[in-house]
């Protein structure tokens, strides 16, 4: 490197990705972590016949409401985080389904879970630090 190039490099202000705080955050971020769009793309294969009704990101622990459709409904959900999470579908203080722990978790791994008309339900998610990303599908 010439002296002119060295002087230019030495006087350049650090970019956000090269500051110590950002470098530490970048090192912790998993480049293979699922995005909301990549989770949504699982729908046609793993939630066939259901429609996407909700997607988002929430800090852990999380409580994700299931939209009330006013009739019997069946649902599937996929959740993803940088560290393993476990999800429970809860309705009227009863646990209806529990996911396997993982960086990507499904409710329910065997297929859709059905709720009665007017059932109030939510998904509780527990896991390490960081946000959980989720996509919910319902039918009808």
Kindly report the CATH number assigned to the domain that includes residue 130.
2.60.120
Q: How many domains does the chain have?
A: 1
The answer to whether position 8 is within a domain reads no
Domain span at residue 84?
33-139
**Considering the domain boundaries, does residue 110 fall inside one?**
yes
Residue 53 is inside which H or E element, if any? strand 51-59
Helix H or strand E encompassing 80: strand 73-91
Question: Do the Cβ atoms of 82 and 26 come closer than 8 Å?
Answer: no
Confidence (pTM):
0.75
pLDDT in tens, 59-118: 999 999 999 888 999 999 999 999 999 999 999 999 999 999 999 999 988 889 999 998
Residue 61 placed within a domain: yes
Q: What is the mean pLDDT of the chain?
A: 81
* 6 located within any domain: no
* 23 has a pLDDT exceeding 60: no
pLDDT, one tens digit per residue, over 24-42 is 333 444 556 799 999 999 9
């Amino acid at each position: 490197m010439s002296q002119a190039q060295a002087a230019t490099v030495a006087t350049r202000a650090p970019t956000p990705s090269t500051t110590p705080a950002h470098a530490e955050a970048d090192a912790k971020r998993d480049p293979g972590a699922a995005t909301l769009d990549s989770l949504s793309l699982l729908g046609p294969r793993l939630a066939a016949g259901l429609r996407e009704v909700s997607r988002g990101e929430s800090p852990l622990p999380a409580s994700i409401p299931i939209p009330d459709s006013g009739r019997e409904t069946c649902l599937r959900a996929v959740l993803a985080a940088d560290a393993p999470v476990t999800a429970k579908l809860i309705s009227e203080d009863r646990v209806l389904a529990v996911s396997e722990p993982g960086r990507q978790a499904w409710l329910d791994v065997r297929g859709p879970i059905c709720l009665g008309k007017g059932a109030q339900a939510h998904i509780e998610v527990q896991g390490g630090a960081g946000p959980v990303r989720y996509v919910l599908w319902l039918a009808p």
